[in-house]
Structure formats: C-alpha cells, structure tokens
Chain A
Amino acid sequence: MQSITDIDLGTPRRTSEKQITLEIDGVNVTVPEGTSVMRAAAVAGRQVPKLCATDMLEAFGSCRLCLVEIEGRRGYPASCTTPAEAGMKIRTQSPRLADLRRGVMELYISDHPLDCLTCPANGHCELQDMAGAVGLREVRYGYDGENHLDRPKDTSNPYFTFDPSKCIVCSRCVRACDEVQGTLALTIDGRGFASMISPGQMQNFMDSECVSCGACIQACPTATLMEKSVYAYGQPDRVVETTCAYCGVGCSFKAEIKGNQVVRMVPNKNGQANEGHSCVKGRFAFGYTTHPDRILKPMIRKSIEDPWKEVSWNEAVAYVASEFKRVQEKYGRDSVGAVTSSRCTNEETFVMQKLVRAVFNNNNVDTCARVCHSPTGYGLKTTFGTSAGTQEFASVDQADVIMIIGANPTDGHPVFASRMKQRLREGAKLIILDPRAIDLVRTPHIEADYHLQLKPGTNVALINGLAHVIVTEGLANESFALERCDPDEYNAWKAFVSQPKYSPEEVERITGVPAEQIRQAARLYARPGNSAIYYGLGVTEHSQGSTMVIGMANLAMATGNLGREGVGVNPLRGQNNVQGSCDMGSFPHELSGYRHISDSVVRAQFEKEWGVHLDAEPGLRIPNMFDAALDGSFKAMYIQGEDFVQSDPNTQHIERAMRAMECVVVQDLFLTETAKFAHVFLPGSTFLEKDGTFTNAERRIQLVRKVMPPVAGLADWEITCAISNAMGYPMNYNHPSEIMDEIARLTPTFSGVSFEKIDRLGSVQWPCNDKAPEGTPTMHVGGFVRGKGKFVLTEYVATDERTSRKYPLILTTGRILSQYNVGAQTRRTENVVWHDEDVLEIHPHDAEQRGIKDGGTVEVASRAGRVVLHARVTERIQPGVVYTTFHHPDTGTNVVTTDNSDWATNCPEYKVTAVEVTPVSRPSRWQEQHRDFTEQQEDLLEQRLTKS
C-alpha cells in the first residue's frame, strides 16, 4: 500500500530535452519524450485504470486494465507500455474499453476474498478502487470455482504479513524487489492459474533472502503484503513528512499517524535522497520511540552508587547549571565540556556548541564524528578545501567505474546501495577494496570486477600502489592535475608514488593483494570516463585514516575524476546527522562552516552576534577528555545522546574516566551504557518529537518535522537553551527555524539556508549562498573550493598494533543491516530477530587450528581486554583476520579495541586490533563485572520508580 497521500502517475518519470505534445480525451498535454501514454494521461488529469502499473516501477503490461484506443491504430494497446508520441490522439474511455476492463476485473474478483470491510487495506486498496472505477456490478463467473482463497498466510516476518489469498499476481512486489531494492528475493512460481508469489525457493519470508526493505509492501496494490501495524492500529488518518534518524543516507519519509500513534513510515517518493525507497530500519524500526524503557522524567543523584531521584525540569536544569558553575569555580574554566549528538538536529548541535563556547567559555566540545569520519573532514579539507563529500547520490547513475573502499553499503547505507546496484546492473564496473567479502563482491546480477582483499591496516600502501601504476603507465590526466592543482605539488607527488617501494610487487608484500590485481584495478579506475570512489569507516578508522582520505583525493585529482557528475570522493557517512553536527561547529577547533577558532576575524563575527568573548584555543577532543578526566583536569561533561561507553574504544579506559568525573550529565532516551555513569539524566526526544534539520552524506539539508509533542516535555534544543538560561546566558528561541537563521547569519556556506527555503525546495545542499541560492549538488566544478587542489605525500606507516605470537590474528569490527550503531534504538525493536547477539566471524582454517566449531563459545583477547562471544566459521573473512560487530553492550566488543588512533584526528583504530581467539566456556571477567554493574544500575533505576 502506498502512502495514503501519494498520487501514482502509473509509470516512472522520464527526463528528456525533447518535449512532445499529444491529445488525450481532447486535451492537449506536453510531456518529455519517452513518457508513457498512461503517465501522459495522468498528467492531463485523466486516470487510466491500472493494477500492475505504478510510477515506482517500469511498466510491465500484464493486467490488461489500462487499455486505451489510439486514433489510427488497431486494437487496444496497454497505455503503460506504449510510449507517447507527438500528435497521438488517445481515448481513455469508450464503451468497448469499459467492457474489456470490466471483463478483466470480473476475473480478478472471482478469485479474491470479499472481505473488504475487515481488510486492512479497506479504503486504500487499488483492486477495490479499480472495481469501482470500471463500474463492476456483478461477477458472472461466481466464486465457487477453483481459487486461491485457502492459501495460508505467512506471518513469519515481524513487521509484515503475506496473504496469498489476496494476491492478484501483478508482479509489482517481484519487480520492486528486483528494480528498486535489487535483492531479487521474490519470484513467480508456477505458470498460468498456478502462478504465485514465492519468496526465495517457495520459502517463507524470514527464511528467504528478503532484507525487509518494504519496497514490496509499498508496491502491493492490495492487502497481500501489509504492515502488521496496520492490522493492529487500523488506517492512519494524517501524514507528516520528515527525515529518517538512522544512517547518513537521510531518507525522507511520510509518517502516517493516527492520533499520536505512528502507524506506518512510508518512504517519500519525492524524497530527494531516497526517491521512495527505504530499508528495514527506517521503515519499520521505530518501535523504540514508544518503548517502555524510555525514561520520561529528569533524574539526579550525587553518586553513581546512589538511587536516582526524579525531579522537575526546573530542578534538573537548575542543578546542572549549579554543578557546572561549581566545577568551573573549583577546577577552572577548562574543566568542563560537552559532546554533541550526531543523531540530534543541526539546530540542537548548534546550540550545544554555543553553550560550550559562549557559556562555558572554552572549546571543549566534540561529536561522535571523532570516532568515524573526522579523518574525512581533515583529509578532504586539506586537499579540496571542503570537509564533505563531493557529489550527490544521483551522481552514481553517471559512474562508469565504482570503487568501494572500506565500506559495506548494502548493510550500512542500504538505500544508496540499492541505487548503486541499479547502476552496476546497467553495466558499471566495480572495484572493491576490503579485507572482507562484502555482499557486493558477489550478489544477484552483480560481481565485482576486482576484489582487492587487503590485510587490515594496509590501505595507504594499496592506494599508493594504485597511484604508482597510474603514474608510471602514463594513465594520469595531467592536463587536469596541472591546471586544477598546484603543479609543483603534483610533480612532487608523482615522484613520490613512482618510487619502487610502491610498485605493485612491493605493495603486494605489504597488503597481500596480488600485483596483477593492483595493476588491473588501477587501469580500470584511470580509464577514460567517470570513476567514482565511495568509502566508509574501513578507510577512516585506522591509524592512517586521514592519510588514506588524502590518498584517495590524490588519486581522484590525478585522474581528473572531480568536478562533474559520475565521479568524486564520496564518504558514506554513518549517522543521520554526522555531517550536520560537524558543519555546525561541533569540533573543538572549529566554528560552524569549518573555520578555525584561532581566526580572529571569524571569531569576531560570533562574538558580536553572541555578545561574548570567545576562547581562541582549540579544546579537547573526546579521547583527550577521557585522558584529562583521568589526570584530574576535566571534571564535568554534558553528553547529548551519545553512548561512548559502548561505542568508543578501550571500554575499561573510558569507564575509569567516567568514574573520575564529578558531574556527568546525560541527555538521552534510555539508560544507556554511558548513562549508567551519569549523575544527571535529562530525558531527550526522538526525531518524531521535534522540528529541525538533518544534513545527510551528500550535504543535503532536510526538514525534520514534529509528528507528536515531546513525550518527556522538552525537545533537546529546549533543554540546552534552558541550561544556558539557568547559567545566566539567555538563549530564547521560539522555534528551531530561528536557530537556523542564526546559523545562516554566521556561516557563509549556509547563508542562503532557511526553513522556508528547505520546505519550498524539499531540500538544500550546502553551500547555499548568493552564488548558489538553491544549493550545490556537485562540488568543485571548474575549480576547487581551496583554489588549487593540493596533492599531499602519503607515506605508508605500519600501525603500532602488530600481530605477535601471543596475538596472531587481526580483529576488525563493523556493523550489519538490521542494527544501528550501539543498538540503543534497534535493540528495542523487532530487528533483534535478525541479530540478537554479536558473533565472531572466523575463517575455517583459523577455526580448525584452534579447535573452534561454528556456534562455539570463544574468547577474544587483545592487549586491551577480553570478551567472550559465539563464533561463526565462514570463508567470508580471510585467514588471519576475524570480524565482529559492536551492537550489543553485553558483548563489550570495544573492551578489546585499543586506544590507537588516527595521527591527525584521534579517530580510533577500530579496524585493526591484534587478538587471539580460544574456545572457552564462561564469560570474560569484564563481562561478569558488566553484568553486575548493569544489575546494580537497573536496580537503582527501579528504586527511583518506587519513590515516584
């Protein structure tokens, strides 16, 4: 079922410079060449009956309901598959057409349950609508013949049901799975009357390859595929367009609501990032917003050994203000700081960093980009001049060669992955640099041309090896490099990568990637046409994360793959607003728009606007905050929706730091791992409960619209403003749009941004200013933001984290489709059916050597700590490397990871930890302590409940 407010034009939009005019029912209509007659008719305001057609899918022409008459042509062609031609004269209604359509509908209805009044699609069923549209009044065939009405319903999926008795076999679900999602999990089994929809090999949905993206449900014209929430709550009665709060793709959704109950999240066909598609998280995993674990009242306590005490908002805010003042008076101005949330809105992160700079009067503010894409900010700003990706998502449609480096788009950024897969199915070439065989290495209708399965930690050597081939074989685009970049720096880089130490043979020794593969991949990337790099945390979360980002930028500049569609260097950013939180000045050295705090001219603008003096020195980064807490110089911290006790490396180090502070204020939805160490808990609001904006990985700023009032009473921006007011610095905004107005006044790349403009245009990609009043989809067109592109030398330096006899394996960590980051949200949804624990992937060879069986319990030990989890023996991972996720706090994956970090940004080296794996039978000591601590903290929370 489509959104209740969607208008379906029948077939997809076509773009063409050539417009054609035809006549439909006597009305002239002009459409782009390639448009179907059905869509042209819809544009002309004439609805042609249809069942197998929808504007999300290519025309199929099977239902025979959309027949029309075309003057001068014989027969009754299907309007969905007939292209409109100039001068055509079409009739959409005639007595003969009506007879034909009624005949078709009679056949459909004769094998369809007549339970409309109790059907969840009642009122929004296309079959029902068409029966009305064609004037069906009787079914001559009766209902007693052979039929499919007794087919059992498949309820295996936690979010939707499949009721084959209601199926009309229009194939929309099959085509949605093929064309939109690209998983090809559905097919038609049987022929003729026996045809039926089959997940996988006649399996139920849960046992099939289905990834629960929901595209099939949206495509289904009946209640055959239907959300269980619609069965439970009934039809929604209002719609609010908003933006997903999961990954950095930033899908636009229509929240369909009844009262304040969200019934469905339906991806917005007009969404400029997702164009009507979604994944299992965005579409279905919103149950956490109403989960009973949510804490809805502010709480305070003196010590983390004490029970919580519920207090009013006024008491809580006054207490926080008094504590920060006390700590600053006792330990100094620099003894306090804050962490902004990449899950909160731009406006919320902006006021948070403003609180730190204007009220705390220091620059001790950071954000979770520290542990993911801070190297992206550093590397791309150094080389290009802008701390962001170069393209919009639609750019991939023009790519001839796609190079994916250290990213797993089908799991981490599934909606963009579907778009990428469409392009790959069209024939684009694919190069993957990854230690692990991600799904895109081989998936239906897609196989990577080259999978460079390098050893973790050797990225920079490999990128230099690729550059070596390009330069020494004369494949560089020197006219671009010499004209658009600094020629001296280009020549120095060219000489650098040409050294024999970066020849493919030498690089093979370091990376394990065969020299010939390196040569072939380099030649493919550098060939004429459009080559685009997409990358993820497998690039950034290394000791040389920033160096690798620079290395990729060098490669793109050397081959001229920048400044137009189809090319670029594209970070697939993790959290929904991690780009935005960085844009908003969440880093301790930068004001909004990536301007260094030491810049007196920029600082003066803020000082004038804010009426305060600003500190010119950079503040502490998150890991520095922990170190400073342990040395006694950092005593209080305000944490907005981040859970770094679970997400950041070397958990035990962080736990010690948390215990060392006198005042930890956590603003969040749940008693997270971090909140267990807090002295103040401020109940935050979900994305459904506030207005604001998120900025996605393509710099696209989109509106977040309030679907319901904040359940705990205040939106996050209101909490921060209240604390500021209590500390004596007035922050009195009436609406987040006023905060954005302030951002626009202070930030050149946002100077043209306003809520009104975003609402009007649907979204805006920064830079948005006088030069680009409607935003900038593609960066660096005609020239780099910094002037000349900067080539920088990227020497490979092996990480300090070495394997040894004691720790012979390398652990690399990542994430999976159904869970999100620390899992605080997705673990509180039905998504746990797909992933209810973190498991360790280990190659059969390594498992055999250690006596490890698939499903057995193993201990992973590193120099930092030990955890125990179950093993999965798989060839997906190469020998010598093991892999796990960090979605479950009980696992404590980050107990094992170390505090090694990127040289430039301190982004942790999550991807390389030397470990040993051994079979064991009981949890690790940390896990036992964690279990006891969790029980204690849950008891203390429980005691709070009995007092309220």
Chain B
Amino acid sequence: MDIHHLVKMANSIGDFFGSEPDKAKGAKGVADHIRNFWDPRMRRQIFAHIDQSSGEGLSDLVLTALRAHRKELSA
C-alpha cells in the first residue's frame, strides 16, 4: 500500500489521541486503535517503514506508540 497514505492515516489517529493529557495513555490509545482496526499487512508495512526510514513523516506520538507497542501489534 501507499506508505504516504498509511503514514497519514496513522498521524490522524495520533491527532485524536494527542488530546489525552497522559502521553502514555495517548500512545496506548493509538496502538490499540491500530491493533483493532488495521489489517496485518498494513501493520507490517508501517513497521517496515519505521525500520527502513526511521518512520519518516510519522508524528512523535504515533512513532512512540508504534515503538512501545510493537510486540502486540506485530502480525
């Protein structure tokens, strides 16, 4: 899939959970949402993007969330 599109989708999820004052809770919200709604190939691709280009374009919260919860999100 178009990685730019996936990055945009992930960041928009991050925008929503970014209003959570507790950043760890916000990151968990991002991770849970991606775990619950993203098909495994989409998750694999976003992690490949992180591995290959340090997650270029991903917001800080999303990058934090994906790195912190990679194990649960791996498919």
Contact = CB atoms under 8 A, between A and B. Distances in A.
A and B associate: yes
Given A496-B19, A624-B1, A618 B39 contact: yes
Contact of A619 (B16, B19, B21, B39): B39
Given A627-B1, A627-B2, A793-B20, A620 B39 contact: yes
B16 A631 contact: no
A161 interface: no
Contacts of A620: 39
A547 B16 contact: yes
Interface stretch (B5-13, B50-58, B63-71): B5-13
Interface of A is mostly: loop
Interface stretch (A151-159, A184-192, A887-895, A898-906): A898-906
A334 interface: yes
Contact of A618 (B13, B15, B20, B36): B36
Contacts, number: 65
Contacts of B40: 334, 617
A618 B37 CA distance: 6
B6 to A, nearest CB: 8
B12 to A, nearest CB: 4
Interface in B1-59: 1-2, 5, 8-9, 12-13, 15-16, 18-21, 33, 35-42
Interface of A: 334, 364, 492, 496, 543, 546-547, 588-589, 596, 598, 617-621, 624, 627-628, 630-631, 633, 793-795, 797, 800, 899, 901, 903-906
Contacts of B36: 589, 596, 598, 618
Contacts of A794: 19
A627 B33 CA distance: 20
A633 B41 CA distance: 9
Contacts of B41: 334, 628, 633
Interchain residue pairs A-B with the least CB separation, the first 7? A903-B12, A795-B19, A627-B1, A793-B19, A797-B15, A620-B39, A631-B1
Residue among B8, B20, B37, B38 having the largest count of chain A Cβ atoms under 10 Å = B37
A620 B39 CA distance: 5
8 contacts: A364-B39, A547-B16, A617-B39, A627-B1, A628-B41, A630-B2, A797-B16, A903-B9
Nearest to B18: A795
Given A617-B75, A793-B20, A904 B33 contact: yes
A899 B37 CA distance: 18
Nearest to B2: A627
A903 B16 contact: yes
Given A598-B36, A619-B39, A543 B19 contact: no
A525 to B, nearest CB: 23
Given A627-B1, A631-B1, A797-B15, A588 B39 contact: yes
A492 B19 CA distance: 11
* Dominant SS among interface residues on chain B: helix
Interface residues of B, number: 23
B46 to A, nearest CB: 13
A903 B1 contact: no
A624 B13 contact: no
Contacts of B12: 543, 797, 903
A904 B13 contact: yes
A628 B13 CA distance: 20
Contacts of A800: 8
B17 to A, nearest CB: 9
A899 B9 CA distance: 11
Most A CB contacts (10 A, CB to CB) among B16, B33, B35, B42 go to B16
Nearest to A899: B5
Contact of B1 (A543, A596, A628, A795): A628
B31 to A, nearest CB: 14
A781 B39 CA distance: 36
A906 B39 contact: no
A903 B5 contact: no
A276 to B, nearest CB: 42
A795 B15 contact: yes
Most chain A C-beta atoms within 10 Å of own C-beta, residue among B1, B33, B42 = B1
Given A795-B18, A906-B9, A618 B1 contact: no
Contacts of A619: 39
A221 B39 CA distance: 60
A359 B8 CA distance: 33
Contacts of B13: 903-904
A589 B16 CA distance: 20
Contacts of A633: 1, 41
Contacts of A904: 13, 16, 33, 37
A589 B40 CA distance: 12
A801 B16 CA distance: 17
B37 A795 contact: no
Contact of B16 (A618, A621, A795): A795
A393 B42 CA distance: 40
Given A596-B36, A899-B5, A624 B16 contact: no
B5 A627 contact: yes
Contacts of A618: 36-39
A550 to B, nearest CB: 9
A274 to B, nearest CB: 36
Nearest to B29: A792
Nearest to A547: B16
Among B1, B8, B39, B42, residue most surrounded by chain A Cβ atoms (within 10 Å): B39
A864 to B, nearest CB: 13
A27 to B, nearest CB: 64
Contacts of B33: 904
A547 B13 CA distance: 11
A800 B5 CA distance: 13
A903 B75 CA distance: 22
Contacts of B2: 627, 630-631
B66 to A, nearest CB: 16
A187 B50 CA distance: 70
Nearest to B34: A618
Contacts of B19: 496, 793-795
Nearest to A800: B8
B69 to A, nearest CB: 14
A793 to B, nearest CB: 4
Nearest to A900: B8
A627 B35 CA distance: 19
Contacts of B37: 589, 618, 621, 904-905
A906 B8 CA distance: 11
B14 to A, nearest CB: 9
Contacts of B35: 598
A549 to B, nearest CB: 12
Contacts of A627: 1-2, 5
A492 to B, nearest CB: 8
B29 to A, nearest CB: 10
A624 B20 contact: no
Contacts of B42: 624
B30 to A, nearest CB: 10
A899 B75 CA distance: 26
Contacts of A631: 1-2
A797 B14 CA distance: 11
A514 B27 CA distance: 36
A624 B6 CA distance: 10
Nearest to B15: A797
A550 B42 CA distance: 26
A97 B67 CA distance: 89
Nearest to B1: A627
A624 B15 contact: no
Given A543-B12, A617-B75, A903-B13, A624 B39 contact: yes
Contacts of A630: 1-2
Nearest to A626: B1
Most B CB within 10 A of own CB, among A588, A618, A793, A906: A618
